[in-house]
Amino acid sequence: MITFNYETDFVLSDEAVYAKWISQVIASENFREGEINYIFCNDDDLHKINVEFLNHDTLTDIISFDYTVGKELHGDVYISVERVAENASEFIVDFNEELSRVMVHGILHYCGYKDKTDDEKKTMRAKEEAYIKLLVDSQ
Protein backbone atom coordinates (compact mmCIF):
# COMPACT_ATOMS: atom_id res chain seq x y z
CA MET A 1 0.00 0.00 0.00
CA ILE A 2 1.36 3.38 -0.98
CA THR A 3 0.41 6.37 1.17
CA PHE A 4 1.17 10.06 0.87
CA ASN A 5 1.66 12.28 3.90
CA TYR A 6 2.17 16.01 4.01
CA GLU A 7 4.14 18.05 6.53
CA THR A 8 3.92 21.11 4.27
CA ASP A 9 1.30 22.91 2.16
CA PHE A 10 2.30 20.90 -0.92
CA VAL A 11 -0.15 18.21 -2.09
CA LEU A 12 0.26 15.85 -5.06
CA SER A 13 -2.06 16.71 -7.93
CA ASP A 14 -3.39 13.15 -8.29
CA GLU A 15 -2.37 10.64 -5.64
CA ALA A 16 -4.05 7.73 -7.45
CA VAL A 17 -1.94 8.26 -10.57
CA TYR A 18 1.29 8.37 -8.58
CA ALA A 19 0.34 5.33 -6.47
CA LYS A 20 -0.48 3.30 -9.57
CA TRP A 21 2.79 4.38 -11.19
CA ILE A 22 4.90 3.42 -8.17
CA SER A 23 3.08 0.08 -8.03
CA GLN A 24 3.97 -0.50 -11.70
CA VAL A 25 7.62 0.35 -11.03
CA ILE A 26 7.75 -2.12 -8.15
CA ALA A 27 6.16 -4.89 -10.24
CA SER A 28 8.48 -4.13 -13.19
CA GLU A 29 11.46 -4.66 -10.91
CA ASN A 30 10.04 -8.03 -9.80
CA PHE A 31 9.29 -6.96 -6.25
CA ARG A 32 6.04 -6.98 -4.29
CA GLU A 33 4.49 -3.87 -2.85
CA GLY A 34 4.42 -3.63 0.92
CA GLU A 35 3.88 -0.44 2.88
CA ILE A 36 5.51 2.54 1.19
CA ASN A 37 5.01 5.91 2.86
CA TYR A 38 5.92 9.14 1.12
CA ILE A 39 6.32 12.08 3.47
CA PHE A 40 6.54 15.49 1.80
CA CYS A 41 8.22 18.08 3.98
CA ASN A 42 10.44 21.18 3.86
CA ASP A 43 14.22 21.64 3.98
CA ASP A 44 14.29 22.18 7.75
CA ASP A 45 12.44 18.94 8.45
CA LEU A 46 14.64 16.88 6.16
CA HIS A 47 17.81 18.54 7.44
CA LYS A 48 16.88 17.54 11.01
CA ILE A 49 16.36 13.93 9.90
CA ASN A 50 19.65 14.00 7.99
CA VAL A 51 21.56 15.19 11.08
CA GLU A 52 19.77 12.98 13.59
CA PHE A 53 19.70 9.68 11.70
CA LEU A 54 22.53 9.91 9.17
CA ASN A 55 24.91 12.35 10.90
CA HIS A 56 25.01 14.48 7.71
CA ASP A 57 24.80 18.24 8.27
CA THR A 58 23.65 19.00 4.73
CA LEU A 59 20.48 19.71 2.80
CA THR A 60 19.15 16.93 0.57
CA ASP A 61 16.08 16.28 -1.54
CA ILE A 62 15.34 12.75 -0.32
CA ILE A 63 16.03 10.41 2.55
CA SER A 64 14.61 6.93 2.41
CA PHE A 65 14.42 4.42 5.22
CA ASP A 66 14.31 0.91 3.79
CA TYR A 67 12.41 -1.77 5.71
CA THR A 68 12.25 -4.24 2.82
CA VAL A 69 11.74 -7.88 3.72
CA GLY A 70 12.93 -10.24 0.99
CA LYS A 71 11.16 -9.25 -2.22
CA GLU A 72 8.47 -7.17 -0.46
CA LEU A 73 9.26 -3.46 -0.40
CA HIS A 74 8.55 -1.43 2.71
CA GLY A 75 9.86 1.99 3.58
CA ASP A 76 9.48 5.65 4.40
CA VAL A 77 10.50 8.14 1.72
CA TYR A 78 10.99 11.70 2.98
CA ILE A 79 11.09 14.35 0.26
CA SER A 80 11.89 18.04 0.67
CA VAL A 81 9.55 19.86 -1.69
CA GLU A 82 11.70 22.99 -1.34
CA ARG A 83 14.84 21.13 -2.43
CA VAL A 84 13.01 19.50 -5.37
CA ALA A 85 11.82 22.93 -6.54
CA GLU A 86 15.32 24.39 -6.26
CA ASN A 87 16.85 21.43 -8.12
CA ALA A 88 14.23 21.68 -10.86
CA SER A 89 15.16 25.33 -11.33
CA GLU A 90 18.89 24.58 -11.29
CA PHE A 91 18.61 21.69 -13.78
CA ILE A 92 16.05 23.60 -15.88
CA VAL A 93 13.39 20.88 -15.71
CA ASP A 94 9.74 20.94 -14.79
CA PHE A 95 9.00 20.62 -11.06
CA ASN A 96 6.78 17.56 -11.61
CA GLU A 97 9.51 15.83 -13.60
CA GLU A 98 12.06 16.41 -10.84
CA LEU A 99 9.55 15.32 -8.20
CA SER A 100 8.87 12.11 -10.15
CA ARG A 101 12.61 11.48 -10.46
CA VAL A 102 13.08 11.79 -6.71
CA MET A 103 10.03 9.64 -5.94
CA VAL A 104 11.19 6.79 -8.16
CA HIS A 105 14.80 7.19 -7.01
CA GLY A 106 13.83 6.11 -3.49
CA ILE A 107 11.99 3.05 -4.81
CA LEU A 108 14.95 2.08 -6.99
CA HIS A 109 17.18 2.15 -3.91
CA TYR A 110 14.74 -0.25 -2.23
CA CYS A 111 15.08 -2.50 -5.29
CA GLY A 112 18.83 -2.66 -4.72
CA TYR A 113 20.14 -0.01 -7.09
CA LYS A 114 23.02 2.10 -5.83
CA ASP A 115 24.40 5.43 -7.06
CA LYS A 116 27.89 5.75 -5.60
CA THR A 117 30.01 4.95 -8.68
CA ASP A 118 29.73 6.48 -12.15
CA ASP A 119 28.38 3.20 -13.57
CA GLU A 120 25.80 2.92 -10.78
CA LYS A 121 24.74 6.53 -11.35
CA LYS A 122 24.37 5.87 -15.08
CA THR A 123 22.19 2.82 -14.43
CA MET A 124 20.11 4.68 -11.85
CA ARG A 125 19.56 7.62 -14.19
CA ALA A 126 18.53 5.33 -17.07
CA LYS A 127 16.01 3.59 -14.79
CA GLU A 128 14.67 6.94 -13.58
CA GLU A 129 14.23 8.18 -17.15
CA ALA A 130 12.46 5.00 -18.26
CA TYR A 131 10.05 5.12 -15.34
CA ILE A 132 9.36 8.84 -15.74
CA LYS A 133 8.43 8.07 -19.35
CA LEU A 134 6.08 5.35 -18.08
CA LEU A 135 4.37 7.92 -15.83
CA VAL A 136 4.09 10.54 -18.58
CA ASP A 137 2.74 7.97 -21.06
CA SER A 138 0.07 6.85 -18.58
CA GLN A 139 -1.33 10.36 -18.08
Phi-psi domain of 55 (left: phi exceeds 0; alpha: psi -120 through 50; beta: other): left
Top-confidence residue, 138 or 110 = 110
* Whole-number pLDDT of residue 59: 85
115 is an annotated ligand-binding site residue? yes
Q: What is the dihedral of CA 49, 50, 52, 58, to 10 degrees?
A: -130
Q: What is the pTM of this model?
A: 0.93
pLDDT, tens digit (0-9, with 9 covering 90-100), for 88-107: 999 999 999 999 999 999 99
pLDDT, tens digit (0-9, with 9 covering 90-100), for 26-70: 999 999 999 999 999 999 999 999 898 888 888 889 999 999 999
As a CATH number, domain 2-138 is 3.40.390.30
CA angle 105, 28, 39 (to 5 degrees): 35
pLDDT, tens digit (0-9, with 9 covering 90-100), for 119-139: 999 999 999 999 999 898 776
109 is an annotated ligand-binding site residue? yes
In whole angstroms, give the CA distance from residue 61 to residue 1.
23
Query: If 0-12 CB within 10 Å is exposed, 13-18 middle and 19+ buried, where does residue 5 land?
Result: exposed
